[in-house]
Structure formats: C-alpha cells, structure tokens
A = this chain, B = another copy of it.
Amino acid sequence: MPLAPADDTFAAALSAQLPEDTLRATEPRYLEEPRGRWAGSSRHLALPRTAQEVAIILRACTESSVGVVPYGGGTGLVGGQIAPAEMTEPLILSLERMNTIREVYAEENVMIAEAGVILADVQNTAADVDRLFPLSLASEGSARIGGLVGTNAGGVNVLRYGNTRDLVLGIEAVLPDGQIWHGLKRLRKDNTGYDLRHLLIGAEGTLGIITAAALKLSPIPAGRGTALMVVKSPQAALKLLSLARSQMGEGISAFEIMSRMGLDFLAEKVPDVRQPFADHPEWLVLIDVGLARGLDPAEALETLFAEGLEAGLVSDGLIAQSEAQADDFWQVRERIPEANRMIGAVSSHDISVPLSAIPGFITKGYEAIGALGEFRVNCFGHVGDGNLHYNVFPMPGRSRADHDNQREDIKRAIHDLCHEMGGSVSAEHGIGRLKVGDLERYGDPAKLSAMRAIKAALDPAGIMNPGAVLRQS
C-alpha cells in the first residue's frame, strides 16, 4: 500500500491532538547526515516529550499511512535517520526532548534512560555513582540512547562488555499501532515469552520506537592499563590476544589494530597527534585492560609483552605511565577516522569475519583491491571482535572523485570476499538505507523472508522508517 505524505493537513490534524509546539517545521540539520551522502526532505518534525505523545503520533501515522523517520543524535553512518527526497514525504520524529535519566539503581548496576539522553551523559551519570556504562564510540558526545539501542551500536569496548544489545535489560517502546510496551524490566533473567527487546534492538526504528531503556552498568575495574604493541602481522595480533586472555581473562577491555597506512594518514593530516613510534610500524595494537584489585595493570602488560616477545609476536611496545599517556595512545586510534575523512575514501567498509579468518581476509582483500587498480588501504579497528574498518583510498595526487565509477566494484569485491568467509557486511553500523541492497544480496533467504513477515505483522501499514533495512514493498 502506498504511503501518504506528511503534508500540512496531516500535520495540522495531528498537532491538534498534541501539546503546543510538539510539531514544528523541520530544520535543515534533521535532513543532513555525517557523510553527506543524502539530503533529506521533510517539512514536519515531531518533538514528543513522553511515550504517550509518541503513541498519539504513531497511531495517527498508522491511521493515515504516513511514514515516520525516527531521529536520535543524527550520527548514524548508513542513512537510517534520513528521509531521502525520492520517498513519500515522512514525518521526522526526534526523541531529543525525552532526555531524562529516570532512575539510577547503583546497587543494582542499572540506569533507566530515555531515548533522547546523550551517551556521554549516561557515561557521566554512571561515573558519578562509581559505575561504568561501557558503551563508548567516537560520536558519544552527540549520539542518543534511542538511536544507539535502535541500531545496536558497537564501539571499542564490545570485546569485554558486548554490543549495545548486551547492555540493555529492558526497553519501553511504542509499537506502530500506538500500543506502549512497558518493558523496562531490571531483571537479569526473565523467560516469559518471546524476546521482543532483542527484536526491537537493532531493527533501526522499522518495528517501533524505543522511548527508554534499562541499561546495565558495571563496576569500574580497580586498575586500568594501556599499551601499544608493535605486532608482526594481524595473525600475531590475534595470538597476542589469546595470550592476553589466558592471562587476564575478561580483563581486556579493548584490543584495536592499526596499520602503517593509518599512522601515515594521521601524520599527514592530523599532525597534532603524538606518533608513538618515529618509524611507523606495519601493524600496531592498542590494548586497554581493567583489572581486579591486587593486580598491577602495568605489570600485567609487561608480562604480556615479555611473553609476546618470547613467542615472536611483538617487537616493540609502550606501556602508558599515566592517564595522560593512555589518552595519547587512544588519540592515535580515535583520530584515524578524522584523517580518513580528510584523505577522502573511495569506499569504506564496516565488516566482520570469524576471528581466525582475519589474516586471510586482509591478505585477500589487498589482492582483490589490487586487481581493480592502484589504491591505498587503511585497515583498522576492533580486531578482537573480528570487526575491521577496511577503507580504500586513492593514491597520492588522485581524489575520491577520480574513482567514482569504481566504487561499486570495490564495494562488491570486499563484500563478496567477506561474505565468502562467513562474515558480515555490516558489523556495527547497521543497514539503514545504504546497505538495503547488500542485505538482499548477502542475507540468508529464510531470514529475509522471516524479517519481511515480522515487519508486515507488526507494521502492516509500513509506516516505520520506510525503506530502511527492508525495501518498501
């Protein structure tokens, strides 16, 4: 069934059911996204303050078959938050006014946060009660809980604490027909029926609107340590991770890989980042550990380095001697995306493969790209999770635009390779509108058919984030 536009008549009728100023004219910032791939189009923006108001909005949209594009912090990288000009004009639904931390249960390690709360505020509120909310990613200063949960965001601490879905005990959500699901349970165990929570988490707003979440906090580890270690190869990095795990168990919070290309890009484009090694190593890992009382993190990292050296895995290393130095190490990792943007990628990939396939993927990836022309590859990321950002850049002197006609071939080559190796073509960014075709190409047919059946069952009018994740039928 075709959707109707969110036109002035619809907006006026909906507005009459809501408190003054809940609907507004859409401002341009709701129509832009970080990578500048899409320009959105929508005249009406809803800014509800409560789940009840969200319910009124969704009920009206279902009744009138008007599409809704949910908007969190606007930091998504796959266009899930954008209403492209070619779609029937939807209503933008921003959760930014639902920005209350409703409760903190420190002794339970639980916090109830509304969808509009910014991640950094959750992190800080947790720290205030001596707890950790471990979700951490580059956009934490603007990304909001609703979007993070709706897209099952990843980040640097997944290795230890899991993806966003693993940090959510319960959710409150509004279903497309306007029913409010009061699911803010603070339980570690609850086997009463289908896990609707995990179905809505990562559905990218296509099945309902998450209005609040019961978030799982953790104790802050007693001691933190950070090191950079030069490894021989990605294979050596994985062996080092195994060593680290047999030594420190769950104590490893992050295990990130960088390559010489990334360090070169940083040196060229972001020279204020302190380079840890004058001679940029081929492969470098950043290790962050948080250990129990009684263990000295620096000492544990020394031991790991010594064992890695003996096993021929590492050749050089630095252990942070202060928080400031740890931050410097993290700058190296965290500002690579900034350097990447300044160089201008021909194609970026957010892939994951089984851990043991990583070395093979990197080798074969270079071969596949090489077969398509001369490019530079900056491969970096969450190697401990099998998740690499494998980004392809033009050679010096050439630009992204010079390769516009090769982008699809490059993407296809990398995604085909990843798929053949049992991987995922979207490890942490989601499908959004960018990867709908990839999901159709690589997704399991039985899974896709189940997804479509679920979408039709829960959102028969097809109003929820139309065209995201699944093509509009």
Tell me the complex Cα distance, A411–B231, Å. Answer: 60
Q: Is the CB of B427 within 8 A of A219?
A: no
Q: A202 an interface residue at 8 Å Cβ cutoff?
A: yes
Q: How many copies does the complex hold?
A: 2
Query: Do the beta carbons of B469 and A458 come within 8 Å of each other?
Result: no
In the assembled complex, the Cα of A123 lies from the Cα of B119 at a distance in Å of 38
Q: Is A355 an interface residue (CB 8 A)?
A: yes
Instruction: Select which of B198, B248, B426 is within 8 A of A192 by beta carbon.
Output: B426
Q: Is the CB of B356 within 8 A of A108?
A: yes
**Contacting pair A290 B249 (CB below 8 A):** yes
* Least CB separation from A436: chain B residue: B193
Whether A456 is near chain B, meaning CB under 8 Å from some CB there, is: yes
How far apart are the CA atoms of A425 and B165 in the complex, in Å?
23
CA distance A427 to B353 in the complex (A): 34
Chain B residues, CB < 8 A from A187: 352-354, 386, 422-424, 427
Q: Contact partner of A427 among B183, B189, B300, CB < 8 A?
A: B189
Task: Check if A186 is an interface residue, CB within 8 A of chain B.
Answer: yes
Residues of chain B contacted by A453 (CB below 8 angstroms):
457-458
The answer, yes or no, to whether A246 is at the interface (CB within 8 Å) is yes
Interface pair A447/B108, CB less than 8 Å apart: no
Q: Across the interface, do A386 and B191 meet the contact criterion of CB distance under 8 Å?
A: no
The answer, yes or no, to whether A472 is at the interface (CB within 8 Å) is no
Closest chain B residue to A182, Cβ basis: B444
Point out the residues of chain B lying under 8 angstroms from A151, CB to CB: 191
B179 touches A248 (CB 8 A): no
**Contact yes or no, A424 B199, CB < 8 A:** no
- A335 located at the interface, meaning its Cβ lies under 8 Å from any Cβ of chain B in the complex: no
A306 at the interface (CB under 8 A from B): no
Inter-chain contacts of A292 with B (CB < 8 A): 247-249, 251, 291-292, 295, 300
B residues near A159, Cβ cutoff 8 Å: 188
Query: For the complex, is A163 an interface residue (Cβ under 8 Å from B)?
Result: yes
Q: Would B448 and A193 count as touching, CB distance under 8 A?
A: yes
Residues of B within 8 A of A355 (CB): 105, 107-109, 186, 188
Given contacts A183-B444, A446-B182, contact A189 B251 (CB under 8 A): no
Residue of B nearest to A197 (CB): B198
- CB pair B385–A181 under 8 Å, yes or no, is no
Contact between chains at A191 and B430 (CB < 8 Å) = yes
Please tell me if A20 contacts chain B, counting CB pairs below 8 Å: no
Min CB–CB distance A248 → chain B (angstroms): 5
Q: Which of B251, B295, B352 contacts A190 (CB 8 A)?
A: B352
A344 to chain B, nearest CB (A): 25
Question: Does A439 reach chain B (CB closer than 8 Å)?
Answer: yes
Pick 15 A–B contacts, CB within 8 A, sort by A.
Answer: A107-B238, A158-B189, A175-B449, A175-B450, A183-B444, A186-B354, A187-B422, A187-B423, A189-B382, A191-B430, A192-B442, A198-B199, A246-B293, A292-B300, A454-B457
Nearest first, the 8 A-B pairs at minimum CB distance are A198-B198, A457-B457, A179-B446, A190-B424, A181-B446, A186-B354, A453-B457, A189-B427
Excluding A179-B445, A188-B352, 15 further A-B contacts by CB distance (< 8 Å) are A105-B355, A105-B356, A107-B242, A158-B188, A187-B354, A193-B469, A193-B470, A194-B207, A194-B451, A196-B450, A248-B292, A291-B292, A453-B457, A453-B458, A454-B454
